[in-house]
Structure 1
Amino acid sequence: MQSVAVNRSATASFSLWRATFSGAAASLIGIGLARFAYTPLLPAIIGAHWFPASTAAYLGAANLGGYLIGALIAGSLARRAKASFVLRALMLIATVAFVACAAPVSFLWFFVWRLASGVSGGALMVLVAPTILSHVPPSRRGFVSGGIFTGIGLGIAASGTIVPILLRYGVTAAWLGLAIVSLLLTIAAWNGWPDEPPAVHTAPAAHAHAHTRNFPVLGVRALYVEYALNAVALVPHMIFLVDFVARGLGKGLDAGAQYWVLYGLGAIVGPLLCGHLADRTGFGPALRVARIIQIVAVAIPVFGLGSIGLMISSVVVGAFTPGIVPLALGRVNELLAHHPGAVKETWSRATTAFAVMQALAAYGLSFVFSATGGDYVVLFAIGAAALIVAQAVDLFVALKAT
């Protein structure tokens, strides 16, 4: 009875809106700024002779490598300290990394701090939403998770708007400007986290529940595959959209930047719209609808539907770049409704699968692009095909479960 009273007291003191803001701030810092702000900074870093082009590319990869590490160690961090302490520490690490990158001390120095920012982002991606959503009624989880991951979309939009403005004052000023934004967001989010004790570790989730009746092993494994394939589908637009418009269509860099702004605008509203859809239909049906829409949007460049079609494609794929995240997380919660203790571990593995396939797809599609003599159409076709396979896997598992 005493534990029930404590839980009720914790729920009563929990502010849904403050927690949602804190989650959005964390995703904005850890993913939105730490990853996507580097894209417009890269040419400036090379132009300022901080690092040569080949070296600077490795520094970009350092963040992706750190992201994988962060996703893998997030569960261990959560088991050793309170969630609120871990989340605050991760946001501070990302903030310090921005400051450290404001001076090109050495390649190793820069690499370490880009790696640290990636670790922070990966761990935040795994821990933020489950920490908050465990206190949220199921009927509100779609909207709240959408609000949390809106931060990613804001980061994508900021990469094409705020960062170029900061760069007018120099590369160092741009990094310090990002650090100030990150610090202010960290302070604003500081007291918004629900205070949870460290998780009790008995065994890895998959092993602890594998023999428990009704544990949806097949559904969870299928979700890993579907989520990873969705990562592949997003890569053509994330990496090649601007280049496709600028060089493939011969419209120039200014036009390419305009389509990237549309991509960013879609990324801002995508998580909220996806979350709202999931609250109405459930996360499973919402994911199927999302994949159908993505198949069409990713394939539009294949059929050459003109500027209007490409604008629609940019906005829609931009919306699902962060929007698919709350849908996948919500599906994890649905599948593990009777095994809440397995949610964080399962989400960590899903995040890792997504990150691995996104990195592999980035390198793989770059190879395909080179091997085909710069054929952009093949890249978008591969992206659409990945979504078709993901949809087939989902429908197969659904039929098998009936």
Structure 2
Amino acid sequence: MEKCPDRFNRGGHAPLREMKVAWSGAGAILAGVGLARFAYVPLFPAMVAAGWVDGAGAGLLGAGNFAGYLLGVLAGRGLARRIGVPRAMDAGMALALLAFAACAHEGGLAWLLAWRALAGVAGGVLMALAGPAVQASVTAAARGQAGGVVMAGAGSGIIAAGLLVPVLLQGGLVVAWLGLAVAVGLVWIVARRAWPDPPALPASAAAAKVPRAGRLLLAYGLSAAGMVAPMVYLADLAVRGRGLPIEAGAAVWMGFGAGAVAGTLLGGRVASRIGGRRALPAWMAVQVAALALALVPAWPALLLAGPLGGFAGVGATAVTLAAAREVAGAQAGVVWVRATAGYALAQAGFGFALAALFGATGDSHAAVFGVGLALSLAALAVAWADRRG
């Protein structure tokens, strides 16, 4: 039986102490992913309307963030080995705050692209470290629930962005970007008091062969590619595609966030009961439904497409995190980094491809969401084939 670190065995309060660490991990994901990555989605139409970028440029900023996220994922474990997990997570939070503040300057497309990419680096570092570090810091029985709590930070950040951005935009884009920087700083202050600090793996465990888990990684990567369309263009679809006001676009994005919270919390619990690889096809089926609904011309379909997209596209992270632990045990961190890197690579590649497609088709939302639907169907097929491991 795996032992929990000593700091969770003192005083008989293990569940409470474990959940404090899980919630601190959720704070890291809230800031680094929910805000640093996804607060841009409700800002997308406002950036275009204010003339800071055009539609294709706004899509390019989203793709640049995905590319930075990939770099952060690949760098996260190495950074943690050099300076420790808590300091590496502090570095990610600091970079996210700085990137938001820098975007308050209208420095042109190249300036914004560089800082949105660095915001992605911050999110990638935090995503690579928070989930595995929390799971390595809690008892085996608590891992499913803790993993769901950590990944619920993404959905919570999306909801926070949906609430904050319309209010902040009343003061203009500069105020909006600076306000988001302040929000990251506040989350950082609260969360860092319980940063996970897992023990290092024994040399024998670190040297053990890591299972490949090819179909699991492929399904997760295809899911990532399919989710590029809603994760970049959903609010713009509501505003410029369906003629709704910016506040309605933010509300649709908040629905995405609410679905993400539900999908991650439920994903952790379901994966604990039946296994992550058996649960993943259900989440992929919901993703297919979400992308199909986004293609329905009537705007009320977005009221379902948003929550279902968040439930599946973000909730799949908790399911895949649990599956990585099933596949690799103590080496789950390595499989998780591979899965997250594949996710980031797929989103970066398809982010740039869809930005080009969006511009070439005259800002056609149907084109980008149609590609997303096809990729989601492929993810469902692979996850179904892998369900028995």
The answer to whether the superposition gives a TM-score over 0.5 is yes
Cross-structure match for 1:331: 323
CA displacement 1:16-54 (0-9 Å, x = unmatched): 121122111101111111122223335555666666777
1:349 alignment partner AA: R
User: Which shows bigger deviation, 126-135 or 152-161?
Assistant: 152-161
Aligned to 2:29: 27
Matched, 1:133 2:135: yes
C-alpha deviation, 1:378, in angstroms: 5.8
Per-residue deviation, 1:116:
2.7
Equivalent position to 1:226, from 210, 216, 219: 219
Say which is worse superposed, 318-327 or 371-380, in terms of deviation: 371-380
| Residue 311 (structure 1) aligned to one of 276, 284, 303 | 303
| Counterparts of 1:366 and 1:112, CA distance in 2 | 17
> How many residue pairs are counted as aligned between the two chains?
382
1:213-292 mapped onto 2 (5 Å cutoff):
216-217=211-212, 220-245=213-238, 256=249, 258-292=251-285
Percent identity between the two aligned chains: 36
Alignment partner, residue 152 of structure 1: 154
Runs of 5+ consecutive residues of structure 1 not aligned to the other structure: none
Q: 299, 311, 335: which one pairs with 2:292? A: 299
Letter in 2 for 1:295: V
Structure 1 letter corresponding to 2:9: A
Alpha-carbon distance, 1:157 to partner: 2.1
- Aligned residue number for residue 382 of structure 2: 393
Matched letter for residue 67 of structure 1: Y
1:354 counterpart letter in structure 2: Y
1:350 to 322, 339, 347: 339
CA distance in 2, matches of 1:180, 1:165: 14
Contact 1:140 1:279 in 2 (8 A): no
User: In 2 relative to 1, CA 274–108 (structure 1 residues): closer, same or farther, beyond 3 Å?
Assistant: same
Task: State whether residues 101 and 181 of structure 2, in contact with CA within 8 Å, keep that contact through their aligned partners in structure 1.
Answer: yes
CA contact (8 A) 2:166 2:250 kept: no
Structure-2 residue corresponding to 1:37? 39
Identify the match of residue 167 of structure 1 among 161, 169, 175: 169
Write the distance in 1 (CA, Å) between the matches of 2:46 and 2:289. Answer: 35
Distance 1:372 1:57 in 2: 13
Contact kept, 8 Å, 1:157 with 1:267, in 2: the verdict is no
Of the three residues 113, 116, 119, the one matched with 1:114 is 116
Read off the aligned partner of 2:305 and give its amino acid letter: S
| C-alpha spacing 1:21/1:350, structure 2 compared with 1 (3 Å) | same
Describe the shift of the 1:17–1:276 C-alpha distance in structure 2 as closer, same or farther (beyond 3 A).
same
Q: Is residue 25–residue 186 contact of structure 1 (8 Å, CA) maintained in 2?
A: yes
Distance across 2 between alignment mates of 1:152 and 1:26: 9
Instruction: Give 1:326's aligned amino acid.
Output: A
In 2: Cα distance, 1:236 partner to 1:60 partner: 10
Bigger Rg, structure 1 or 2: 1
- For residue 313 of structure 1, what is the amino acid of its counterpart? A
- In 1, are the aligned partners of 2:21 and 2:196 still within 8 Å (CA)? yes
Helix, strand or coil: the match of 2:194? coil
Shift of 1:332: 0.5
Structure 1, 7-16 or 260-269: larger mean CA deviation: 7-16
Per-residue deviation, 1:236: 3.2
Is this contact kept in 2: 1:82–1:198, CA < 8 A?
no
1:170 CA drift (Å): 3.1
Equivalent residue for 1:9, pick from 6, 20, 23: 6
